[in-house]
Amino acid sequence: SAPAALSGPALQDVSSEERDLHILDDGRTIRDFIDDQIKVLRSADREDPFYVADLQSVVKRQRLWLALLPRVKPFYAVKCNHHAAVLRTLSALNTGFDCASKGEIQMVLALGVPPDKIIFAHATKPMSHIRYACAHGVDTMTFDSEEELQKISLCHPKAKLVLRLAVDDSESLVRLSSKFGAGLGSVGKLLGLAADLDLQVIGVSFHVGSGCTGSLAFQRAIADARRVFDIASVLGVQMSLLDIGGGFSGRDDFQVKFEEFSGVINAALDKFFPPDCGVRIIAEPGRFYVESAFTLAVNVIGKKNCEESAPGGERMYYINDGVYGSLSCIINDLAHPSIQLLPHRAMALSEPRFRSVVWGPTCDSLDKVSNSVWIPELQVGDWLLVHNMGAYSVSLSSDFNGFEKAQVFPVLTADLKLRPPTVCIDDPETHDGVLLRPRCLPPT
Ligand code: PLP
């Protein structure tokens, strides 16, 4: 279907959550959709940034998960990207949900998801949120401290508790165990207090850190979880749930690694929690499902040449989305996004490149998107694509300085076979755009 008409009022009045799903039929690709959307914006004299969310990619991830981790039921981590199209797609695919707050629980329940498919996976919760979970039948929740047990015994005494364990997260991009998780040494005391308070502890969870690069982190953490099960057993508590958290990259180039990760995880599960042991296994993947599904289109809204600052002249470009908007992942998630220039005009491979800085639109100098990249000359009005933008972007962006958040256009590809491969200037056969690598070296 054609992109939504972007008359002024339509943009303001209709939230992105309510926008239609766009079906790409007759061989139309996501690139075609983006080009059409840019034309619609141009005709309305606008240049707003926007995302295209490829829901087919989310479906493919689910198929990959089911094929490679058949024993592990995914509970999607809503914090990673809470866009309604993502949540609806995953709900239709029958995943569970990991919610971190009352707000996320509300979002998921509003989709009609039954409360027993939600884990309230925040180890430190406001008491009013615990009471909300109790009132709405969300019983499974994590804890990692004595204080949290006291709060839960007051607000949700029938909760099914999952002890969050601190594990080795040294191989991950974003480490979490400095903030969350109980050490193995405190497990006995916590289980003792839970028993004193007449609370039911049903299992163990951990998170190896987001963007985990080493599969053995899961092996070590699963072995640690086994020790907690054994300590509990000695204390007379029979646990029945293991939650192996998140941490899996969602980039397409991680797919081969995911095979390695799932091999290590399956072997560790079979060793420490064999299929007949009666323990249910779940996980809380976030970025795995959405990272590569979202592409962000941004516009070059300004430019400045600093002849004096570098030989040949450094270029400074200003785009209309930045670290206070969709690209907050540069700061919060330590991301280095790849940016692709759309070839709206003839651009030869031999075009000279200039050392350039790319800034976001706000009045803050912290709002820097790329530092010192070597790229061809850009013009005001050029469109750039930022790939792999689905994780910790939509859910973290603000409208600081009055720059509106980028709208999301969810699309479904009717026929996967007709999609051309993603291309960039690195592929001399195609010349379809220029990939701006944040850390690329000067041309020799
Ligand atoms: N579960 C918990 C408790 C988390 O804190 C996070 C991320 O911070 C996730 C799941 C999702 O992690 P990821 O997106 O790395 O899969």
The predicted pLDDT at position 428 comes to 30
Nearest by Cα to 96 from 126, 148, 158, 138: 138
The predicted pLDDT at position 311 comes to 57
Of 268, 290, 312, the last residue of a domain is 290
Q: State the average pLDDT over residues 82-98.
A: 97
Which residue CA neighbors atom 9 of ligand 1 most closely?
A: 246
Q: Are residues 266 and 321 in the same domain?
A: no
- What ligand 1 atom has the least distance to the C-alpha of 212? 15
Q: Are residues 15 and 109 in the same domain?
A: no
Q: Are residues 283 and 350 in the same domain?
A: no
- What ligand 1 atom has the least distance to the C-alpha of 123? 3
At 26, the amino acid letter reads D
Q: pLDDT tens, 183-193?
A: 999 999 999 99
Q: Is the ipTM of this complex over 0.90?
A: yes
User: Does the beta carbon of 74 sit less than 6 angstroms from any atom of ligand 1?
Assistant: no
Q: State the average pLDDT over residues 23-46.
A: 93
**pLDDT at position 333 over 50:** yes
Measured distance CA(271)–CA(264) in Å, rounded: 11
At 362, the amino acid letter reads T
Q: Are residues 277 and 178 in the same domain?
A: yes
Contacts of residue 221, defined as CB under 8 A and 6 or more positions apart, other chains included, come to: 165, 167, 168, 206, 208, 244, 245
The percent of residues in the chain predicted with pLDDT above 70, rounded, is 86
The predicted pLDDT at position 415 comes to 59
- What ligand 1 atom has the least distance to the C-alpha of 288? 16
Q: For residue 176, is it within any domain?
A: yes
Quickly tell me which residue has 């005494």 as its tokens: 157
The whole domain housing 408 covers 8-54+292-436
Q: For residue 1, is it within any domain?
A: no
**pLDDT at position 423 over 50:** no
The percent of residues in the chain predicted with pLDDT above 90, rounded, is 70
Q: Are residues 268 and 367 in the same domain?
A: no
User: Does the beta carbon of 77 sit less than 6 angstroms from any atom of ligand 1?
Assistant: yes
Q: For residue 364, is it within any domain?
A: yes
Q: Are residues 15 and 78 in the same domain?
A: no
Q: Name the least confident of 91-95, 172-176, 198-202, 392-396.
A: 172-176
Q: For residue 444, is it within any domain?
A: no
CA of 79 to the centre of ligand 1 (A): 8
Q: How big is the chain, counted in residues?
A: 444
The predicted pLDDT at position 210 comes to 80
The predicted pLDDT at position 306 comes to 75
Which CATH number belongs to the domain containing residue 233 in this structure?
A: 3.20.20.10
Q: Band of the pLDDT at 441, cuts 50, 70, 90?
A: very low
Contacts of residue 421, defined as CB under 8 A and 6 or more positions apart, other chains included, come to: none
Give the residue, out of 80, 204, 287, with the most ligand 1 atoms within 8 A of its beta carbon, to mutate for a pocket test: 80
**pLDDT at position 429 over 80:** no
Hey, what are 193's tokens? 């207090």
Q: Are residues 209 and 76 in the same domain?
A: yes
User: Does the beta carbon of 217 sit less than 6 angstroms from any atom of ligand 1?
Assistant: no
Q: pLDDT tens, 233-292?
A: 999 999 999 999 999 998 888 888 899 999 999 999 999 999 999 999 999 999 999 999
CA of 76 to the centre of ligand 1 (A): 9
Q: State the average pLDDT over residues 68-89.
A: 97
Q: For residue 390, is it within any domain?
A: yes
User: Does the beta carbon of 390 sit less than 6 angstroms from any atom of ligand 1?
Assistant: no
User: Does the beta carbon of 176 sit less than 6 angstroms from any atom of ligand 1?
Assistant: yes
Q: For residue 441, is it within any domain?
A: no
Q: How many CB atoms lie within 10 A of CB 217?
A: 22
Which residue CA neighbors atom 3 of ligand 1 most closely?
A: 121
**pLDDT at position 17 over 90:** no
User: Does the beta carbon of 210 sit less than 6 angstroms from any atom of ligand 1?
Assistant: yes
CB 73 within 8 A of CB 96: yes
Measured distance CA(51)–CA(78) in Å, rounded: 18
Is 212 considered catalytic here?
no
Q: Band of the pLDDT at 11, cuts 50, 70, 90?
A: very low
Q: Are residues 303 and 259 in the same domain?
A: no
The domain total for the chain is 2
Q: Are residues 274 and 343 in the same domain?
A: no
Give the residue, out of 58, 65, 78, 79, with the most ligand 1 atoms within 8 A of its beta carbon, to mutate for a pocket test: 79
Mean pLDDT in the chain?
87
Q: Name the least confident of 7-11, 146-150, 224-228.
A: 7-11
Q: Name the least confident of 113-117, 192-196, 302-306, 432-436.
A: 432-436
Q: Name the least confident of 4-13, 93-102, 148-157, 211-220.
A: 4-13
The predicted pLDDT at position 345 comes to 56
Q: Are residues 341 and 201 in the same domain?
A: no
CA of 284 to the centre of ligand 1 (A): 6
Which candidate in 155, 212, 363, 440 is catalytic?
Answer: 363
Q: For residue 298, is it within any domain?
A: yes
The predicted pLDDT at position 349 comes to 62
Measured distance CA(352)–CA(377) in Å, rounded: 8
Q: Are residues 135 and 249 in the same domain?
A: yes
Of 274, 290, 306, the last residue of a domain is 290
Of 240, 275, 290, the last residue of a domain is 290
Residue 6 phi, psi (nearest 5): -105, 60
Measured distance CA(24)–CA(30) in Å, rounded: 8
User: Does the beta carbon of 333 sit less than 6 angstroms from any atom of ligand 1?
Assistant: no
**pLDDT at position 422 over 70:** no
Q: For residue 2, is it within any domain?
A: no
Q: pLDDT tens, 335-385?
A: 777 777 776 555 666 778 888 999 999 999 999 998 888 888 899 999 999
Which CATH number belongs to the domain containing residue 305 in this structure?
A: 2.40.37.10
Q: Is 340 exposed, middle or buried (0-12, 13-18, 19+ CB in 10 A)?
A: buried
The predicted pLDDT at position 73 comes to 98
Q: Are residues 21 and 85 in the same domain?
A: no
